[in-house]
Amino acid sequence: MDRYDGKVPGASWLVVKDGQILAMRATGMADLEASVAATTATNYRLASISKQFTAAAILLLVEDGKLRLDDRLRSWLPELPPATASISLHQVLTHSSGLLDYEELMNDQADAQVSDQDVLDILSQANRLYFEPGSGYRYSNSGYVLLGLVIERASGQRLPAYLKQHIFGPLGMHGTLLYEASHGPEVPHRAFGYSDSGNGWQRTDQSPTSATRGDGGIYSSVRDLALWNAALDNNRLLSASSRELASAEHSRIVGEDWDGSYGYGWRLTGDTQWHSGETIGFRNVIVRWPAQRLTVIILSNRNDPEPYATALAVGQRELDADRDAALP
């Protein structure tokens, strides 16, 4: 982690084995302009790591009987066009819906931030799909934005309030929130994103797609994510059947840089359950080895390097140490 050290955009990281925290540390800076150092309580924009929380909220609503996984997406969002009529919530969760990528439909010259309602409006005007629902795989930020709207309509609560009341609060994740600049509150202990321009680090914290919520709007810290990680191994939040659904191999991943399958907000590769989170100025990853009860999380407020390989290397060191300890 030396590359994150000093007066540069930093990182916070966590290693958990058998329910015990082996390392929880931070280095570098959360805010270069204000000279604020990163800590284990620093909150980073999780980007697509947020998707596992959106999926968990859907599963909680299923447990409460407020929706079903085979519900048609259009039954909750009737504004969507006829081409989407057969898409189920299950297919949206597993990126097998065929929904169009709203970013490909945006005005290239637009500089205002796109809201969830804007995404719904954009998709409602395009009566076509990439493929027949259930017949393929294509990673879809559009789908998880729409799932956030479904959560609001099924629960009767705004998405940030639902996540706080039903996930963050019960788990004690009191620093974690789904951030909305237009509604507040502000992010406590916030890390700001940066990119290396070749002439030093430049703040690149927001883009036109940084205001959407269900696909990537959560801010959290390694301190809070330790609590989330613990809840993935017991019934404190989700039932065993819901957790099994979240980590099941529903869709075979194609067209990406790694082999594996997709569950509900999780990628599944070999013996790992993981997800990265990338947005302008942030690169994050959570990797879990469930059978070995090992988790590595790295959060960073910079565009480079991508931390997935680092997390795998850290995890492999722990697995090798366990193997060596077991030798006679």
CA-nearest of 144, 143, 138 to 96 is: 138
- Using the structure block, give the residue that is written with the tokens 């469930």: 290
Strand runs (DSSP E) across 230-314, as ranges? 251-252, 261-262, 267-269, 272-279, 282-289, 294-300
- Return d(Cα 242, Cα 203) in angstroms, integer: 39
Strands 11-17 and 201-203: unpaired
Q: Is 48 a catalytic residue?
A: yes
Q: Which of 122, 100, 105, 103 is closest to 208 using CA atoms?
A: 103
Q: Compute the residue count for the chain.
A: 328
Q: Which of 12, 35, 48, 242 is catalytic?
A: 48
For 295, counting Cβ atoms within 10 Å of its Cβ (0-12 exposed, 13-18 middle, 19+ buried), the class is buried
Positions marked active-site: 48
